[in-house]
């Protein structure tokens, strides 16, 4: 009977190797075989660059898996199937595999899908996901902004839902994190201008990497082709809030009252 290795998704944080967790760091040096994602064969891998900047040498047998950036369902399906089949082949050698993940492995990451398909093919494969620092947590820290305080609401969405949805969500959430904002930059900037929210928006590109860029004057980005690894933090201080159910506070008040009784 085949003894499969474990499939480990190692979150590496968004770019600064100092944000790699101790757990991911240990797994990278555990003797597990490395797998890393690329958009095209033999192209550079952002995830790999994070560990290289952290001072780890890439093992000679590290292998790339190609996940093309396309909306063509046929090409995507084929690439996903190839990646999963190759992963199963390697796991069947009995050695653990560590899949390098930029940011956090549970947040809009290739790893979740890969692990699911691998498990469909071989249900007994053990999967471990090592959590990590997401791009937007690091972006908020770099820009010295809070994502949410006290009763504030926070939504994290791919900007591709379009400006209509973003416009609506601005009424529902105090802070919006817009990921994958690149193709919609100009439309988003126009919307923020209409809503009077340019001053409370911030654009962050390649956070944690040597090329990190923070742009507070987001209107200045109009017409610019920004990097795919970029996001926008939008705060709506004018949002009208609904009634809050203060159950937790009531319970605390009751606890305090009984403590003083
Ligand atoms: C496929 S998602 C990956 C998210 C990632 N797993 C995370 O935890 O942040 C890619 C999107 O995340 C955002 N992103 C990822 N890394 C980033 C970085 N270093 N700087 C800014 N945005 C980043 C961008 O919006 C990008 O289009």
Q: Are 157 and 178 in contact (CB under 8 A)?
A: yes
Same domain? For 78 and 115 the reply is yes
Among 229, 232, 233, 234, the mutation site with the greatest number of ligand 1 atoms within 8 A of its Cβ is: 229
Ligand 1 site, residue 102, Cβ cutoff 6 A: yes
11 membership: H or E segment, kind and range? strand 7-11
Residue 118 lies in a domain: yes
pLDDT tens-digit readout, 38-72:
999 888 999 999 999 999 999 999 999 999 988 89
Identify the domain boundary among 101, 133, 165.
133
pLDDT tens-digit readout, 213-248:
999 999 999 999 999 999 999 999 988 887 777 665
Residue 242 lies in a domain: no
Using alpha carbons, list the distances in angstroms from residue 148 to 28, 105, 145, 153.
33, 22, 9, 6
Residue 259 lies in a domain: no
Among 227, 231, 232, 233, the mutation site with the greatest number of ligand 1 atoms within 8 A of its Cβ is: 231
Using alpha carbons, list the distances in angstroms from residue 85 to 71, 88, 122.
21, 5, 10
Report the separation in Å between the CA atom of 179 and the middle of ligand 1, taken as the mean of its atom positions: 7
Same domain? For 28 and 119 the reply is yes
pTM of the model: 0.91
CATH code for position 193:
3.30.950.10
Q: Give dist(CA 53, CA 46) in Å, integer.
A: 11
């Amino acid at each position: 009977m085949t003894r499969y290795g474990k499939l480990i998704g190692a979150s590496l944080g968004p770019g600064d190797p100092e944000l790699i967790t101790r757990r991911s760091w240990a797994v990278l040096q555990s003797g597990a075989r490395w797998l890393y994602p690329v958009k095209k064969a033999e192209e550079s891998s952002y995830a790999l660059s994070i560990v290289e900047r952290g001072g780890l040498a890439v093992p000679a047998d590290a292998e790339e898996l190609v996940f093309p950036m396309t909306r063509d369902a046929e090409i995507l399906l084929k690439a996903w199937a190839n990646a999963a089949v190759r992963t199963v082949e390697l796991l069947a050698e009995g050695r653990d595999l560590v899949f390098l993940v930029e940011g956090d492995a549970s947040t809009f990451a290739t790893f979740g899908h890969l692990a699911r398909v691998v498990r469909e093919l071989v249900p007994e494969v053990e999967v471990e996901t090592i959590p990590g620092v997401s791009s937007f947590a690091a972006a908020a820290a770099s820009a010295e902004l809070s994502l949410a305080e006290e009763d504030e609401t926070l939504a994290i969405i791919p900007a591709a839902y379009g400006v209509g949805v973003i416009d609506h969500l601005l009424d529902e959430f105090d802070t919006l994190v817009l990921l994958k904002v690149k193709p919609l930059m100009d439309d988003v900037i126009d919307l923020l201008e209409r809503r009077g929210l340019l001053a409370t928006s911030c654009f962050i590109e390649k956070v944690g990497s040597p090329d990190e860029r923070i742009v507070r004057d987001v209107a200045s980005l109009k017409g610019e082709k920004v990097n795919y690894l970029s996001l926008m933090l939008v705060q709506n201080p004018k949002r009208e809030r609904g009634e809050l159910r203060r159950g937790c506070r009531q319970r605390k008040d009751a606890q305090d009252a009984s403590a003083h009784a």
